[in-house]
Amino acid sequence: MPKALIAIGGNSLIRAGQRGTLEEQFENAYHTAKAIARIINDGWEVVVTHGNGPQVGAALIRSERAVNEVYTHTLDMCVATTQSEIGYILERAFIKAFNEDNIHKKVLTIPTMVIVDENDPAFDKPSKPVGPFYTHSVAEEKQEQLGWKVVEDASRGWRRVVPSPEPIEILELDIIKQIMDMDIVTIALGGGGIPVIRKPDGTIEGSEAVIDKDRSSALLANGIDADIFIISTDADKVYLNYKKKNQKGLDSAHLEEIEKYYSQGHFPPGNMGPKIEAVMRYLRNGGKKAIITTFEYIGDSLEGKAGTTLLP
């Protein structure tokens, strides 16, 4: 049975312009699950990973604002909390989709830890956007009053940024493989994984960071020897000169071509850059095929009718 790792982005749970209520997240997750159910019905074995930028930022805000009322959460604990929260939302969505499509499969969320290097320079240069979008003036105010680092994110507003170290090792990799062997649809590596540090004596400690989910998803895709690595985002395909008059969509490209376009600056850090970086890592490490598209077109993209297909 061919294996697909599908990394779903924030738009699969919270769309642009939405408040991100639980009702909205359940509805969006259901539509994503319906799209993925289509390829499961076609015989694909699926592992789903997901981001948590809005949710982990919200969890952090709740913790900070309630500091005088209850115990607070560290950033790694916020990632752990949102893994369960989003996993629950997705599991309900898949169960509904499976019942409607007469798919007799179980779905399970695996809490997942990822080793990072405590000396990673990313800890000194926060870069991962989390939480809600703000106007420039509000973001500057929070930066001054709360000591936040803020950046403009994808031309949609300003957001808080936190450290985003490189993922080194997925601790639950063997467990994920075992669950897959049981023919269970697996939700893993939520929010890029809980960032942890392995100490010299072998113990594990949490780390104040949020790992980029596309980078860690590429690591997992190679780890399970996925036949295809799909990144679901808010763009139907990869574009050169994005949002410019000479914008051009890519139906397909090989690694050498995409590396050239990347070096030419076509994929900025706040937009398609991290996704292209993740695909390049996956292909360089033996990956067979990758696709970037929106969740609506996942099924069509596997048939070459939509999205951007990227090959070694």
Active-site option among 10, 51, 53, 57: 10
Annotated active-site residue in 34, 237, 275, 289: 275
Which residue among 28, 51, 128, 131 is the active-site one?
128
128 is catalytic: yes
- Residue 271 annotated in active site: no
Single-letter code of the amino acid located at 205: E
Q: Please tell me the distance from the alpha carbon of residue 109 to that of residue 114, in angstroms, as a whole number.
A: 16
> For residue 188, what is the enclosing H or E element?
strand 185-188
Distance from chain centroid for Cα 306 = 21
- Looking at 87, 191, 213, 289, which residue is catalytic? 213
Phi-psi region of 165 (alpha: psi -120 to 50; beta: other; left: phi over 0): beta
Q: Which residue, chain included where needed, has tokens 């209520």?
A: 21
* Tokens 């104040």 -> residue: 208
92 CB-contact burial (10 Å; exposed 0-12 / middle 13-18 / buried 19+): middle
- 103 CB burial (10 A radius; 0-12, 13-18, 19+): middle
Does 10 qualify as catalytic in the annotation?
A: yes
How far apart (Å, rounded) are the C-alpha atoms in residues 6 and 214? 10
| Residue 242: burial class (beta carbons within 10 Å; 0-12, 13-18, 19+) | middle
> Which DSSP string corresponds to 130-188?
EEEEE-HHHHHHHHHHH--EEEE-TTS-EEEEE--PPP-EETTHHHHHHHHHTT-EEEE
| Cα–Cα distance, 97 to 78 (Å, whole number) | 28
Q: Which residues are catalytic?
A: 10-11, 128, 213, 275
